Homo-oligomer: A and B are copies of this chain.
Amino acid sequence: MSELAQQVRSGDVRALARAATVVENRQAEADELLKELFPYTGRALVLGITGSPGAGKSTLAAAITRQLRSDGKTVGVIAVDPTSPYSGGAILGDRIRMQDHHADPGVFIRSMATRGWMGGLARTTTDMAVLFDAAGRDVVLVETVGVGQDEVEIARLADVTIVLLVPGMGDDVQAIKAGIMEIADVFVINKSDLPGADKLEREVKASLSLAHRPDNWTPPIVRTIASDGQGIEGTLAAARLFYQTGNSRSRAREIWALRLREMLRDRLIERFPKEQFDRAAADIVARKSDPYSIIQDWLGSHA
């Protein structure tokens, strides 16, 4: 076993930060490191948190972290921000309100923004969770900024997916919510002291009564006021309940099948040089050729 892998295993926080950089930048040694650490995973509870902008995801993540720390558990936080295709993680850095744990080695936070075209964040998030798990973190929180498809998929990579709702949002937000209703293992109604909390709970219940999950789980609805820490123990209890049913294991098999497919696709494509794509794209724009014929040619010659 490499020195870095040993240090990560021992829970060394600086080694974990170094390893996270190796993984995030996809450095050459990333795969070997992950391969060494993977057998030591499967112990952490990985919680995904998603929900509408403004619902209080960061506040909930902070409250869960505080609760876990007071229970003596160690925490890793992966904060994912795929909304900014160019500018990197600056926004997210501002958003994280976990300053109370700044000097606490029991809380390790990693922010990740997108790098380029789609798909990369899901891969890096999974690999980062492997690292945190192998490093002995009891709980790994995966927090996403919004409710785009990427973010929904990333939240689903977790053992348990928590969907955060908040009373009194307009119609558009309700429409967005429809996209995340199906992925919730636990619903949290945050800011539940606001008017409309009862109405929202009834709406969620109504939509649950129409849904039929293959695993027959009925997602519990927990009310919180995350800023005051209210309802956080209930949220964690609900998440653990789902985890104990074993449903997250069959989900994990699905997710890994998809992840393997992505990993393989990425590796296969690396065999084709960038210039080949650029030249062909110029031909397409000049209408000298078409993309469909070009792909057929390439596949023929690499069959």
Query: Which residues in A have some Cβ–Cβ distance to B below 8 Å?
Result: 31-32, 34-35, 38-39, 41-42, 53-54, 82-87, 91, 95, 114, 117-119, 122, 145-153, 170, 172-173, 175-176, 178-179, 182-183, 249, 252-269, 272, 274, 277-278, 280-282, 284-285, 287, 290-296, 298-299
Chain B residues near A295 (CB-CB < 8 A): 260, 263-264, 267
Given A172-B54, A290-B35, also A179-B84 (CB < 8 A): yes
13 pairs, CB–CB < 8 Å, chain A vs chain B: A38-B291, A39-B290, A54-B170, A87-B178, A91-B175, A114-B149, A117-B262, A118-B122, A149-B150, A253-B281, A253-B284, A260-B280, A264-B298
Given A85-B153, A182-B85, A257-B280, also A287-B39 (CB < 8 A): yes
Chain B residues near A272 (CB-CB < 8 A): 261, 264
Q: Which residue of B lies closest to A299 (CB)?
A: B267
Given A38-B290, A118-B149, A269-B261, also A179-B83 (CB < 8 A): yes
Given A151-B148, A178-B91, also A261-B290 (CB < 8 A): no
How far, in angstroms, from A291 to B122 measured CA to CA in the complex? 14
Asked if A285 contacts B256 (CB within 8 A), the reply is: yes
How far, in angstroms, from A8 to B59 measured CA to CA in the complex? 53
The residue that A83 contacts in the complex, of B39, B147, B264, B267, with Cβ under 8 A, is B147
Asked if B267 contacts A149 (CB within 8 A), the reply is: no
Chain B residues near A153 (CB-CB < 8 A): 85, 117-118
How far, in angstroms, from A249 to B252 measured CA to CA in the complex? 43
The residue that A268 contacts in the complex, of B85, B122, B269, with Cβ under 8 A, is B269
How far, in angstroms, from A182 to B113 measured CA to CA in the complex? 15
